[in-house]
């Protein structure tokens, strides 16, 4: 059994991102305790779990218990797969209902008695305890270092525009499309979504109506080592003309929210409807679109009119005057 700890700011989107990766890797979520997901998956799913954006870590789940005493009793029966030295580290989630203050020391003693050495400053293996409704203990296999994503935030890129999504959110949008080969962003801006898709090894296609964005996105993609890309100057409402005969596996995009400059002179809702129509026409049957719209636009209704099926909708308040939904649609 595995566990995934998801991030708390977009928890439903984070859970569905894990679900999408497990669908690709042949596994499923079998339980949830706040931000702790219990996952049944074969080893080949690691390849897809490694793609996650809205996760803190994943690992091997070894013990699950109703109480501290039960956890310690069960832990004695586990053959702890510790390599080198270890340390026990506790995650007390907001719904924790157990007294875990002394648990690291007690669990550490159990594992130590099996002949493993403790190293509190530089352990080779991290034993993780999660406290929620229940208690869980396991071994961390992969930590998603926030620094890796921070390095790709807008202000670190050679071409900077303050309109970008957080790289973790961009990564999640890509993953929610379940893309395995390619991805199109028809309103790519500085290329934040395409960078995340490109780093996963997908071929990326990008469009923007502004020449400086096409140049800037290319600069950014190259900066992060993404080489397999095709970028075009053009209109996201006319994708059929930009890519004649092409059908895309997946589309993810973050349209402009409403300032006259970024809408390039169009009325906002008309632009959104026309972009949705054009994306629908270039997407493969069964292909997915992940997209953000302000809450004042009925994204679900408009997409369903075109024949899209809504798979997910996730709310986010960005600031006082911007609330949005991230949607996942399937053609």
- Residue 166's φ and ψ, nearest 5 degrees, are -65, 140
Work out the angle at residue 162's Cα, subtended by the Cα atoms of residues 158 and 163, and round it to the nearest 5 degrees.
115
Q: What is the length of the chain? A: 331
Question: What are the helix and strand counts (H, E) for the chain?
Answer: 12, 14
Cβ neighbours around 212 below 10 Å, total: 11
Of 127, 237, 242, 308, the residue at the interface with ligand SAM (CB under 6 A) is: 237
Cβ-proximal residue to ligand SAM, closest one: 192
125 vs 237 by CB, closer to ligand SAM = 237
Cβ 148 to ligand SAM, closest distance in Å? 17
Using the rule CB under 6 A, is 208 a contact of ligand SAM? yes
Mention every residue, 6+ apart, whose C-beta is less than 8 A from residue 300.
Answer: 310, 313, 327
Cβ 307 to ligand SAM, closest distance in Å? 22
Cβ 311 to ligand SAM, closest distance in Å? 20
Distance of CA 320 to the CA centre of its chain: 25
124 vs 148 by CB, closer to ligand SAM = 148
Dist. CA 299–CA 296, nearest whole Å: 9
Mention every residue, 6+ apart, whose C-beta is less than 8 A from residue 325.
Answer: 292, 293, 295, 299, 313, 314, 315, 316
96 vs 174 by CB, closer to ligand SAM = 174
Dist. CA 92–CA 132, nearest whole Å: 7
Candidate ranges 88-96, 113-121, 201-209, 316-324; the one touching ligand SAM (CB under 6 A): 201-209
Kindly identify the residues of this chain, within the stretch 255-294, that bind ligand SAM according to CB under 6 A. 255-256, 262, 264
Dist. CA 277–CA 284, nearest whole Å: 13
115 vs 244 by CB, closer to ligand SAM = 244
Using the rule CB under 6 A, is 254 a contact of ligand SAM? yes
Candidate ranges 121-129, 137-145, 221-229, 230-238; the one touching ligand SAM (CB under 6 A): 230-238
Count of residues engaged in binding ligand SAM, rule: CB under 6 A = 24
Closest by Cα among 53, 223, 198, 74 to 134: 74
Of 73, 156, 210, 222, the residue at the interface with ligand SAM (CB under 6 A) is: 210
Candidate ranges 1-9, 29-37, 72-80, 161-169; the one touching ligand SAM (CB under 6 A): 161-169
Q: CA-CA distances (angstroms) from residue 47 to 105, 168, 170, 186, 275?
A: 34, 18, 19, 27, 33
114 vs 296 by CB, closer to ligand SAM = 296
Candidate ranges 19-27, 101-109, 204-212, 222-230; the one touching ligand SAM (CB under 6 A): 204-212
Kindly identify the residues of this chain, within the stretch 169-198, that bind ligand SAM according to CB under 6 A. 186-193
Cβ 256 to ligand SAM, closest distance in Å? 4
Dist. CA 300–CA 66, nearest whole Å: 41
Contacting positions for ligand SAM (CB under 6 A) = 163-165, 186-193, 207-210, 213, 235-237, 254-256, 262, 264
């Amino acid at each position: 059994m595995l566990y995934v700890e998801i991030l708390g700011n977009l928890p439903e989107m984070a859970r569905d991102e894990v679900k999408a990766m497990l669908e690709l890797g042949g596994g499923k979520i079998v339980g949830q305790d706040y931000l702790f997901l219990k996952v049944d998956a074969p080893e080949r799913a690691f390849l897809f779990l490694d793609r996650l954006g809205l996760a803190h870590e994943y690992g091997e789940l070894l013990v699950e218990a109703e109480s501290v005493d039960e956890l310690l009793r069960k832990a004695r029966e586990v053959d702890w797969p510790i390599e080198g030295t270890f340390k026990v580290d506790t995650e007390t989630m907001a719904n924790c209902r157990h007294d875990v203050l002394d648990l690291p020391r007690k669990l550490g003693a159990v594992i130590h008695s099996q002949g493993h050495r403790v190293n509190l400053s530089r352990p080779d293996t991290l034993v993780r305890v999660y406290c929620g409704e229940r208690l869980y203990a396991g071994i961390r296999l992969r930590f998603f270092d926030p620094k890796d994503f921070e390095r790709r935030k807008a202000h670190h890129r050679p071409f900077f525009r303050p309109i970008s999504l957080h790289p973790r959110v961009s990564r999640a949008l890509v993953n929610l499309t379940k893309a395995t080969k390619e991805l199109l962003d028809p309103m790519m801006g500085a290329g934040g979504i395409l960078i995340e898709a490109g780093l996963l090894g997908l071929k990326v296609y990008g469009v923007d109506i502004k020449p400086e964005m096409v140049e800037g996105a290319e600069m950014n993609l190259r900066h992060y080592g993404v080489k397999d890309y095709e970028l075009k100057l053009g209109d996201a409402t006319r994708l059929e003309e930009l890519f004649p005969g092409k059908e895309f596996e997946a589309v993810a995009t973050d349209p402009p929210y409403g300032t006259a400059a970024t809408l390039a002179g169009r009325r906002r809702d008309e632009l959104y409807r026309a972009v949705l129509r054009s994306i629908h026409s270039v997407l493969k049957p069964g292909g997915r679109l992940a997209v953000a719209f302000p809450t004042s636009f009925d994204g679900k209704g408009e997409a369903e009119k075109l024949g899209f099926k809504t798979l997910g909708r996730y709310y986010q308040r960005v600031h006082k005057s911007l609330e949005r939904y991230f949607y996942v649609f399937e053609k």
